[in-house]
């Protein structure tokens, strides 16, 4: 009888510990840019200026996100900061265009125990709440390790075939091109923090993911606080039109096409002074 009571007490303590365990991880993101400017009348837009523009846009794409988590659930959202002045190249102000799916007010909630997510996001000012099952990743675990901060991390990868929908302009009309691509995503996770979670949609490894790279975007953890003095309460977002992930992607694609048509020119988006932006990639 004593042994049974002890086992039950231990099990209850484990449940309580799981409920009380919380943490906060700060991630820095950076993305590669394929933004190009084509100039017919301005010979000043040379390769060097193109390279400088790429670097500045890449810097603008660097963002900070915060993952707050407990044993089974988490929220991931962008850290709110003041907007930086738009950089200029050759007297021309850089223009950044966004069609949706990413916004500073967005919240990505995950429940790894229930295998589901709720993503509160926007498309052109309209709020959506995307609810669906978590994506399944066929992780391949490796014995390769490296240190990220004070944590020993192990390497894991998964490979997937994706279709990229690129829009170009031919004879003044937007034309969609579909390219198939094989993407290898590499993650580094630490078993020292035993939660199967990570930044954004990523999860499913035997430890917290501290770094991930899919060839176009890199996400790196820069700070971790476990069981902070200020209590963390994981709240699932509730606001927005509820749609599935598939439906949301259809709406996003439709709105992107509508916006591109508004800016159609013979060779892209006319910025004046012989400058055109070509959409694609």
**Tens digits of residue pLDDT in 199-249:** 999 999 999 999 999 988 999 999 999 999 888 999 999 999 999 999 999
Q: Is 87 helix (H, G, I), strand (E, B) or coil?
A: coil
Say what the pTM is.
Answer: 0.73
Closest residue by Cα to residue 135 from 67, 69, 185:
185
Whole-number pLDDT of residue 70: 96
- Mean pLDDT of the region 130-146: 96
**Tens digits of residue pLDDT in 71-101:** 999 999 998 765 555 545 444 444 444 444 4
**Tens digits of residue pLDDT in 19-48:** 579 999 999 998 875 555 554 555 555 666
């Amino acid at each position: 009888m004593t042994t049974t009571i002890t086992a039950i007490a231990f099990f209850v303590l484990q449940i309580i510990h799981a409920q009380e365990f919380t943490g906060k991880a700060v991630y820095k993101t950076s993305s590669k840019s394929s933004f190009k400017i084509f100039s017919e009348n301005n010979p000043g837009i040379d390769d060097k200026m193109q390279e400088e523009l790429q670097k500045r846009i890449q810097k603008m794409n660097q963002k900070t996100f915060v993952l707050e988590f407990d044993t089974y659930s988490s929220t991931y959202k962008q850290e709110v900061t003041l907007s930086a002045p738009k950089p200029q190249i050759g007297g021309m102000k850089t223009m950044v265009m966004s069609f949706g799916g990413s916004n500073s007010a967005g919240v990505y909630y995950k429940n790894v125990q229930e295998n589901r997510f709720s993503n509160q996001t926007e498309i052109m000012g309209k709020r959506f709440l995307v609810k669906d099952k978590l994506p399944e990743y066929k992780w391949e675990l490796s014995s390769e390790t490296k240190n990220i901060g004070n944590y020993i991390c192990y390497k894991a990868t998964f490979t997937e075939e994706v279709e990229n929908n690129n829009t170009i302009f031919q004879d003044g009309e937007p034309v969609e091109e579909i390219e198939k691509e094989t993407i290898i995503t590499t993650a580094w996770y630490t078993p020292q923090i035993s939660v199967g979670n990570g930044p954004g949609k990523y999860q499913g490894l035997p430890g917290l993911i501290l770094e991930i790279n899919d060839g176009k975007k890199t996400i790196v953890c820069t700070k971790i606080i476990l069981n902070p003095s200020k209590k963390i309460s994981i709240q699932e977002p509730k606001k927005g039109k509820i749609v599935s992930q598939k439906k949301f992607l259809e709406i996003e694609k439709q709105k992107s096409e509508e916006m591109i048509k508004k800016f159609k020119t013979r060779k892209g988006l006319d910025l004046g002074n012989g400058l055109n932006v070509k959409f694609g990639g």
